[in-house]
């Protein structure tokens, strides 16, 4: 446990748990073969949607799971941060599984997910995907700095 945050420390190299192994389902449904990128993307989608079978089988059949660079998939499902937490799950798990995910419009009531693997946590932007904690710190740093400055100015007033 990390004393500062009281949460378990999970090493970057630890394999992701496969509670909803999307790649197994894709293979059993005869939609393979799967490249490494296809396998990881399918497992990510399985975890995010709590079973890849919750996505449209028509959409899943359109995916080229053998592509080595990554996959693209259109979904009808909405993405939210809390009560239906698929957006949060997508962000958190994609960082854990070293996948860059881009969300684009794909048509009326459709979202396209582009999922590409990253090889490292550091290095050039096009090749890396930072640890989620590092990325949060990077995003929050200007806000933290502004808040500290505001407090300092408030304390300096007579």
- For residue 102, CA distances in Å to 40, 86, 117, 138, 147 come to 15, 14, 12, 19, 30
pLDDT value at position 11? 44
Read off the pLDDT of residues 48-71 as tens digits, 9 standing for 90 and up: 999 999 999 999 999 999 999 899
Read off the pLDDT of residues 72-95 as tens digits, 9 standing for 90 and up: 999 987 888 888 899 999 999 999
pLDDT value at position 12? 44
Angle at 103 between CA 99 and CA 104, to 5 degrees: 145
Query: Domain locations in the chain?
Result: 22-117
Q: In whole angstroms, what separates CA 127 from the centre of its chain?
A: 15
| Residue 99 predicted with pLDDT over 70 | yes
Q: What is the three-class DSSP state of 104?
A: strand
State the Cα–Cα distance between residues 130 and 139, nearest whole angstrom: 12
- For residue 119, CA distances in Å to 40, 73, 125, 137 come to 13, 21, 11, 21
How much is the average pLDDT of 10-39? 80
């Amino acid at each position: 446990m990390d004393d500062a945050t009281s949460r378990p420390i999970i090493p970057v190299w630890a394999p992701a748990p496969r509670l909803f192994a999307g790649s197994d389902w894709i293979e059993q449904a005869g939609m393979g073969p799967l490249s490494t990128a296809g396998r990881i993307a399918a497992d990510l989608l399985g975890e995010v949607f709590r079973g890849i079978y919750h996505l449209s089988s028509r959409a899943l059949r359109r995916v080229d799971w053998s592509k080595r660079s990554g996959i693209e998939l259109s979904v009808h499902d909405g993405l939210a941060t809390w009560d239906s937490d698929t957006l949060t799950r997508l962000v958190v798990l994609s960082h854990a599984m070293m996948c860059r995910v881009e969300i684009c419009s794909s048509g009326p009531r459709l979202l396209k997910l582009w999922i590409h693997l990253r090889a490292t946590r550091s290095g050039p932007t096009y090749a890396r995907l930072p640890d989620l904690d590092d990325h949060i710190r990077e995003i929050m740093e200007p806000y933290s700095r502004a808040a500290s400055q505001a407090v300092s100015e408030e304390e300096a007033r007579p």
